[in-house]
């Protein structure tokens, strides 16, 4: 046996992607109701943000409590260009992504020197500044009531937004691409260096990893993914308000990363989907929905602190081992990504 | 480029690899290094001893770019590197281990060593995202080189275990393998025998000799006198941030000042 991986990747690693693609292709067809489709679209948008945030937080170990601000940059950026200047959404979107990337670079350069809680505070501050700008700079942003009348995506006469299923495919195609790219990154020398930074920044540095540069690059990437989510959001709804991209949303994103599992891409997909869906499912509880939502979160963290995906896989492995009477399923060193 | 082949050096090679001139560093009012100078020749093992607080680890931290010196120069193969960033110095060929092992506990044994290849490989962020620009080929070369280093320290059987789960002695070896993967010309070992049992220390001693056979220059900070005196070509004694004495193990052990200051009875 050759234990050192000159063999091709195991099925366990190659299977999820085609499975996911099939699911993403079929699921929208099964949802008759436009409302469900909308939920599906929001799920996809959240996946984009959460995958990006997990690259930064779960893999590289750099906390951001202000990620909603980058979502806001994408949504407001693209929306404002469209409403105030009358540019086509197809131009507004890339411009807002570029803008967000440059902004993230300028912000990240100084604040990524901070570590742990201090970085969390700095990103939190940035998030609050952007939130306040959205509220106060009324001439540009529409103020507290939000920016409305944003043009929705069309190609000629063909509308991307109605029926919503078209938009769902657009968003989830983006999600698919995002997952592929993230997997590529994570499985590369860059991905290993990111995790090394998480493990010990000094040790990584003494092995030739340019830690400052890599942290900045992953910060910019996650910011651009967040702004892509924002741009997709605003050109679907035609509307954006400060309430949907403030501090609460930032915390929500971090929660999705943690529930899905730190440093796992599929975990982020699942985490974002579960926590987007859960509040919708719980609405039948009316006033008690927040309460139950909180309790579910607490239970998940108590019983699956390593995240839903790893938790469930471990449970299956455990059950399988009991049934077959064999020991554990071997080392779990390769379960990242 | 290429593999550091064993046994290529001959006795005639006395090239100076590392040259430290009047190195000084202070933290606030505390002077930790107060004008340290020494030279290390290619393929040499230089033992550095001294009481706690003498500045040994601080010296390593400067040599590997973690600290910026307040004064003095560090020349690596004739070029000044003092005050450069960590990764730049690593890429110039200075590798190190840590007194309190700093592995990437969240990664497997093999992946730890693969990170060691970082400074010797090139695929950038965008290349990695899109898997273009020879990423696959490079990945294979990383795997191959890392496997060799794991075999070198005898950890190849444990490649897929989480690094944090290794027994302490093997963690020390893994850290050495990881650093070797970065192809250092100068290897700084910071108390590699601390926490090892006698059998492990003996294995370590063999490993250090083999590292030297590969043509790598070794600086060894260590409290285990038997180990230092048996494998070092020269020994330098630091005390209060100054060089107290320098010479062959024999000379150092016979130096009355050293005996008085540090070694005590029995040497």
Tens digit of each residue's pLDDT (9 = 90 or more) over B105-156: 989 999 999 999 999 999 999 999 999 989 999 999 999 999 999 999 999 9
CB contact under 8 A, A214 and B131: no
**In this predicted structure, what is the pLDDT of residue A32?**
81
**In this predicted structure, what is the pLDDT of residue A9?**
64
Candidate from A209, A332, A333 with C-beta closest to B118: A209
A8 Cβ contact partners less than 8 Å away, ≥ 6 residues apart: none
Residues in chain B: 267
Q: Closest Cα of chain B to A214: distance in Å?
A: 8
Residues of B in contact with A6 (CB under 8 A): 143
Confidence tier at B1 by pLDDT (50, 70, 90):
very low
Q: Give the pLDDT confidence of B180-221 residue by residue, as tens digits.
A: 999 999 999 999 999 999 999 999 999 999 999 999 999 999
Among A64, A38, A32, A26, smallest CA distance to A232 is for A38
Candidate from A199, A218, A331 with C-beta closest to B161: A331
Distances (CA, A) of B203 to A152, B101, B131, B178, B193: 69, 18, 41, 17, 10
Among B60, B17, B40, smallest CA distance to B233 is for B40
**In this predicted structure, what is the pLDDT of residue A330?**
43
Distances (CA, A) of A104 to A136, A328, B15, B211: 22, 44, 47, 44
Confirm if B59 and B48 have CB atoms less than 8 A apart.
yes
CB-count exposure of residue A303 (10 Å: 0-12, 13-18, 19+) = exposed
Q: Which of A 217-236 lie inside 8 A of B, CB atoms?
A: 217-218, 221
**CA–CA separation, A74 and A101 (whole Å):** 10
Residues of A in contact with B135 (CB under 8 A): 188
A4 CB within 8 Å of a chain B CB: yes
**CA–CA separation, A336 and B209 (whole Å):** 37
Confirm if B34 and B245 have CB atoms less than 8 A apart.
no
**In this predicted structure, what is the pLDDT of residue A337?**
41
Residues of A in contact with B123 (CB under 8 A): 188-190
**In this predicted structure, what is the pLDDT of residue A6?**
44
Residues of B in contact with A209 (CB under 8 A): 87, 115, 118-119
> Is it true that the peptide bond before A159 is cis, omega within 30 degrees of 0?
no
Residue B250's CB is within 10 A of a number of other CB atoms, namely 10
Candidate from A6, A205, A331 with C-beta closest to B87: A205
Q: Is A131 helix (H, G, I), strand (E, B) or coil?
A: helix
Q: What stretch of H or E contains B177?
A: helix B168-180
Residues of B in contact with A263 (CB under 8 A): 106
A15 CB within 8 Å of a chain B CB: no
**In this predicted structure, what is the pLDDT of residue A2?**
43
Q: What stretch of H or E contains B165?
A: none
**CA–CA separation, A28 and A24 (whole Å):** 7
- Which residue's entry shows tokens 């769902």? A168
**In this predicted structure, what is the pLDDT of residue A5?**
45
CB contact under 8 A, A203 and B129: no
Q: Closest Cα of chain A to B148: distance in Å?
A: 10
**B92, B102, B125, B151: best to mutate for the A interface, most A CBs within 10 A:** B125
**In this predicted structure, what is the pLDDT of residue B3?**
41
User: Nearest residue of A to residue B108 by CA position?
Assistant: A333
Candidate from B66, B90, B108 with C-beta closest to A208: B90
CB contact under 8 A, B90 and A198: no
A8 CB within 8 Å of a chain B CB: no
What is B52-118 written as a DSSP string? TTSSHHHHHHHHTTSS--SEEEEEETTEE-TT--HHHHHHHTEEE--TT----TTSBHHHHHHHHTG
Domains of chain B (ranges plus CATH)? 15-93+184-267 (3.40.50.300), 109-183 (no CATH)
| pLDDT tens sequence for chain A (337 residues) | 444 444 456 677 778 899 999 999 999 889 888 899 999 999 999 999 999 999 999 999 999 999 999 999 999 999 999 999 999 999 999 999 999 999 999 999 999 999 999 999 999 999 999 999 999 999 999 999 999 999 998 887 778 777 889 999 999 999 999 999 999 999 999 999 999 999 999 999 999 999 999 999 999 999 999 999 999 999 999 999 999 999 999 999 999 999 999 999 999 999 999 999 998 988 888 888 888 888 888 888 898 889 999 999 888 888 888 776 544 444 444 444 4
- Using H for helix, E for strand and C for coil, what is the string for A82-108? HHHHCCCHHHHHHHHHHHHHHHHHHHH
Whether complex ipTM tops 0.95? no
Distances (CA, A) of B155 to A200, B159, B170, B173, B177: 21, 7, 8, 8, 9
CB contact under 8 A, B115 and A210: no
Distances (CA, A) of B26 to B33, B84, B243: 7, 18, 16
Total-model pTM: 0.91
Distances (CA, A) of A227 to A29, A53, A69, A128: 28, 12, 9, 16
For the segment B236-250, the average pLDDT, to the nearest whole number, is 93
């Amino acid at each position: 046996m050759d234990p050192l991986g000159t063999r091709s990747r195991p099925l366990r690693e190659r299977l999820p992607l085609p499975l996911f693609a099939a699911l993403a292709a079929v699921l929208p067809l099964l949802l008759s109701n436009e409302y469900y489709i909308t939920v599906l679209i929001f799920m996809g948008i959240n996946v984009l943000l959460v995958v990006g945030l997990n690259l930064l937080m779960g893999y590289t170990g750099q906390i951001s409590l202000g990620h909603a601000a980058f979502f806001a940059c994408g949504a407001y950026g693209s929306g404002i260009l469209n409403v105030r200047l009358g540019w086509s959404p197809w131009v507004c979107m890339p411009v807002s992504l570029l803008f967000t990337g440059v902004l993230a670079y300028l912000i990240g350069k100084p604040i990524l020197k901070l570590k742990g809680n201090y970085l969390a505070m700095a990103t939190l501050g940035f998030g609050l500044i952007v939130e306040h700008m959205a509220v106060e700079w009324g001439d540009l942003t529409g103020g507290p009531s939000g920016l409305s009348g944003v043009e929705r995506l069309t190609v000629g006469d063909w509308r991307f937004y109605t029926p919503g299923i078209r938009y769902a495919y657009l968003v989830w195609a983006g999600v698919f691409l995002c997952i592929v790219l993230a997997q590529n990154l994570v499985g590369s020398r860059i991905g290993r260096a990111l995790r090394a930074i998480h493990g010990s920044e000094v040790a990584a540095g003494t092995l030739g990893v340019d830690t400052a540069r890599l942290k900045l690059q992953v910060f910019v990437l996650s910011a651009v993914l967040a702004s892509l989510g924002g741009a997709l959001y605003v050109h679907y709804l035609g509307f954006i308000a400060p309430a949907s991209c403030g501090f609460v949303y930032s915390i929500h994103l971090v929660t999705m990363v943690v529930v899905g599992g730190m440093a796992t891409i599929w975990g982020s997909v699942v985490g974002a989907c579960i926590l987007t869906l859960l509040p919708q499912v719980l609405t039948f509880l009316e006033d008690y929905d927040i309460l139950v939502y909180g309790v579910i979160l607490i239970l998940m963290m108590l019983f699956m602190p390593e995240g839903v995906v790893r938790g469930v896989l471990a449970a299956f492995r455990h059950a399988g081992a009991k049934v077959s009477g064999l020991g554990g399923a071997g080392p779990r060193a390769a379960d990242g990504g | 480029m290429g593999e550091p082949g064993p046994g290529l050096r001959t006795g005639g090679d006395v090239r100076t690899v590392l040259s430290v001139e009047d190195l000084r560093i202070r933290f606030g009012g505390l002077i930790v290094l107060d004008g340290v100078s020494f030279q290390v020749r290619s393929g040499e093992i230089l033992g550095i001893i001294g009481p706690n607080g003498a500045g040994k680890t601080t010296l390593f931290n400067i040599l590997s770019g973690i600290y910026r010196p307040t004064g003095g120069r560090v020349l690596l193969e004739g070029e000044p590197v003092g005050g450069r960033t960590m990764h730049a110095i690593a890429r110039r060929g200075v590798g190190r281990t840590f007194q309190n092992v700093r592995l990437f506990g969240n990664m497997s044994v093999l992946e730890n060593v693969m990170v060691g290849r970082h400074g010797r490989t090139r695929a950038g962020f965008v290349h990695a995202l899109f898997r273009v620009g020879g990423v696959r080929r490079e990945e294979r070369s990383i795997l191959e080189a890392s496997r060799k280093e794991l075999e070198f320290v005898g950890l190849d059987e444990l490649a897929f275990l989480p690094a944090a789960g290794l027994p302490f002695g093997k963690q020390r070896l893994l850290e050495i393998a990881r650093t070797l993967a970065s192809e250092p010309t100068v290897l700084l070992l910071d108390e590699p025998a601390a926490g090892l049992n006698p059998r492990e220390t003996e294995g370590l001693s063999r490993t250090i000799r083999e590292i030297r056979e590969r043509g790598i220059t070794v600086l060894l900070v260590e409290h285990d006198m038997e180990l230092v005196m048996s494998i070092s070509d020269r020994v330098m004694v630091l005390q209060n941030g100054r060089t107290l004495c320098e010479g062959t193990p024999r000379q150092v052990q016979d130096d009355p000042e050293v005996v008085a200051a540090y070694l005590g009875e029995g040497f």
